[in-house]
């Protein structure tokens, strides 16, 4: 017969074994998250890599090929306007491609601006595989093309980002001279998103620490900033847009759009968005 002391020792051993098993399993989950991180962040093939209208009737699209600093070949759209004072350097959100964002570019173009929509590496017709560092290189390549090949004044370029693209727009604007920044459905950082999405995995935000850190980049941006966010955004919480706005330096403006949308603010509230955009442009 076991003594009470022996029973306690056995119980403690089993408890320790269970704890170690849970800890090992949790660490394994974190390792798997790290290994498949790029697949959890980037969705170039959803719903289809080349899905969409590549020849939209409402836009006079010129296909452009450019090369990133590391040699990756990129594809972009140049949409010009003879009356343009500014050029929107557009960085789209996650998933799919620029062809699926043509209504957004048509909306921007309606403000009598040029639009240069660049396709990230691994997305659409661009080569390579997506990564955070790669997306920043793509943004710089697009900017350099506008300045060097199109001969645009740096102070006429507006960095425009949607969702994932807001990180690219903010990073570029912190390192290159631009006239202003427009962020639609932004998020503070990858770690902030990780804490929200993977709330059941304590410590997962440490794996993304410092990644897509728009909050930090905003402290380096000294040009006007316009932030647009739907108050019922199903992808990036409205609260995130408010947090980003709080970190931005003045002059800045926050445009809340009433409705259920993510990158579709210009589609569900075109009049409201147009007025805010025109006021922003007039102030540059």
- Residue 59 C-alpha from the chain's centroid: 24
Q: At what angle do helices 190-197 and 238-247 cross, to 10 degrees?
A: 150
**Beta-strand pair 87-91/157-162:** parallel
Nearest to 214 by CA among 237, 242, 239, 247: 247
pLDDT at site 29: 45
Q: At what angle do helices 102-109 and 270-282 cross, to 10 degrees?
A: 50
Asked if residue 236 has a cis previous peptide bond (ω within 30° of 0), the answer is no
Identify whether the C-beta of residue 85 lies closer than 8 Å to the C-beta of residue 155: no
Kindly indicate the confidence band of residue 279, based on its pLDDT and cuts at 50, 70 and 90.
Answer: very high
Nearest to 104 by CA among 125, 88, 81, 124: 88
Arithmetic mean of pLDDT, 163-179: 97
pLDDT at site 36: 43
Domain ranges of the chain: 1-35, 47-282
pLDDT at site 203: 55
Residue 7 has pLDDT above 80, yes or no: no
Return the SS3 of 114: strand
How crowded is residue 138: how many other Cβ atoms within 10 Å of its Cβ?
Answer: 29
Residue with the bigger pLDDT between 254 and 48: it is: 254
pLDDT at site 202: 58
Identify whether the C-beta of residue 169 lies closer than 8 Å to the C-beta of residue 91: yes
C-alpha distances (whole Å) from 241 to each of 158, 186, 199 are 19, 5, 19
The DSSP annotation for 10-29 comes to HHHHHHHHHHHHHHHHHHHH
Kindly indicate the confidence band of residue 129, based on its pLDDT and cuts at 50, 70 and 90.
Answer: very high
CATH number of the domain located at residue range(s) 47-282 in this protein: 3.40.50.1820
Kindly indicate the confidence band of residue 25, based on its pLDDT and cuts at 50, 70 and 90.
Answer: low
Residue-wise pLDDT tens digits, 134-153: 999 999 999 999 999 999 99
Kindly indicate the confidence band of residue 58, based on its pLDDT and cuts at 50, 70 and 90.
Answer: confident
Residues near 48 by Cβ (< 8 Å), separated by ≥ 6?
96
């Amino acid at each position: 017969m076991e003594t009470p002391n022996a029973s306690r020792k056995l119980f403690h051993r089993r408890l320790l074994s269970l704890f170690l098993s849970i800890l090992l399993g949790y660490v394994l989950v974190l390792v798997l998250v790290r290994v498949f991180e790029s697949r959890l962040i980037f969705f170039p093939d959803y719903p289809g890599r080349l899905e969409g209208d590549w020849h939209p009737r409402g836009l006079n699209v010129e296909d452009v090929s450019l090369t990133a600093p590391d040699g990756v070949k990129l594809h972009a759209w140049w949409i010009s306007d003879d009356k343009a004072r500014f050029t929107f350097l557009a960085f789209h959100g996650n998933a799919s491609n620029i062809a699926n964002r043509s209504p957004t570019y048509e909306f921007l173009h309606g403000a009598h601006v040029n639009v240069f929509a660049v396709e990230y590496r691994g997305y659409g017709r661009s080569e390579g595989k997506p990564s955070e560092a790669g997306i920043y290189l793509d943004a710089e390549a697009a900017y350099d093309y506008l300045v060097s090949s199109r001969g645009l004044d740096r102070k006429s370029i507006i960095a425009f980002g949607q969702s994932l693209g807001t990180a690219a727009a903010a990073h570029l604007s912190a390192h290159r001279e631009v006239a202003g920044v427009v962020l639609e459905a932004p998020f503070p950082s990858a770690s902030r998103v990780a804490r929200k999405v993977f709330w059941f995995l304590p410590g997962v935000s440490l794996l993304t620490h410092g990644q897509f850190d728009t909050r930090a980049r905003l402290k380096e941006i000294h040009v006007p900033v316009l932030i647009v966010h739907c108050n019922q955004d199903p992808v990036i919480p409205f609260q995130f847009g408010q947090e980003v706005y709080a970190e931005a330096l003045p002059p800045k403006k926050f445009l809340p759009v009433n409705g259920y949308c993510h990158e579709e603010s210009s589609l569900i509230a075109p009049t409201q968005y147009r007025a805010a955009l025109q006021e922003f442009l007039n102030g540059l």
